[in-house]
Amino acid sequence: MSREGFRVKRYHEHLLITGELLSNKEMKSVVKLGRLLHKTAHVLNNIHNRSLQYLKVNTQQTVILSFIAQNEKEGVNSRDIEGLLSITNPSVSSIISSMEKKDLIFKRKDPKDKRNQLLYLTKPGYELAKESSKVMIENNQKTFGVLNEEEQNQLNTLLTKLFERSEDLK
């Protein structure tokens, strides 16, 4: 494809994404809502990551540490993390490897299936899980504090409904 053809294609994709080609007012509203959800998630993730910098951990690592802490008796395997974060196995492997090098987690053979390895927290990993989770909770309280309890429950219900529908459409 020529450079000009590529530019035209990208511009056309931009118009579709932004809804500028859509004449139906409702479709423009749906596209706008999708963009707003995406942008909000992106901004929240950036807020968390900036707040966690001093701990030398990011949002994904914090979620993984907290998840392992909550499941410390039975351990966690990488497939659990793939599902939790909706990311691929190579991405999970890379994150786990990084966390092992930082002495935050360690692996043990699964006693029920020797082919699998389960993840557990080290003492520093457990301490970091507590501290980084606290930072994320504070961020969420600041962000969602603009909504009263009823609005937060309503938003949770609506987002859950959208999420479940999107999972059905996969």
Per-residue pLDDT, 3: 61
pLDDT in tens, 86-105: 899 999 999 999 999 999 99
Q: What is the DSSP letter of 82?
A: H
Per-residue pLDDT, 35: 87
Q: Are 139 and 47 in contact (CB under 8 A)?
A: yes
The token pair at 169 is 């459409």
Model-wide pTM > 0.75: yes
Instruction: Give whole-number Cα distances, 125 to 17, 49, 73, in Å.
Output: 41, 18, 15
110 φ, ψ (degrees, to nearest 5): -70, 120
The C-alpha atoms of residue 52 and residue 127 are separated, in whole angstroms, by: 14
Sequence-separated contacts (24+) of 93-98 with Cβ below 8 Å: 95/60, 95/61, 95/64, 96/64, 98/61
pLDDT in tens, 44-70: 999 999 999 999 999 999 999 999 999
Per-residue pLDDT, 1: 57
Report the half-sphere exposure of 27 (CA within 13 A, side-chain side): 10
Per-residue pLDDT, 5: 55
pLDDT in tens, 123-167: 999 999 999 999 999 999 999 999 999 999 999 999 999 889 888
pLDDT of 17 higher than 70:
no
Between 43 and 7, residue with greater pLDDT: 43
Q: Has domain 57-170 been given CATH number 1.10.10.10?
A: yes
Per-residue pLDDT, 10: 59
Question: Which pairing describes strands 113-121 and 105-110: parallel, antiparallel, or unpaired?
Answer: antiparallel
Per-residue pLDDT, 20: 54
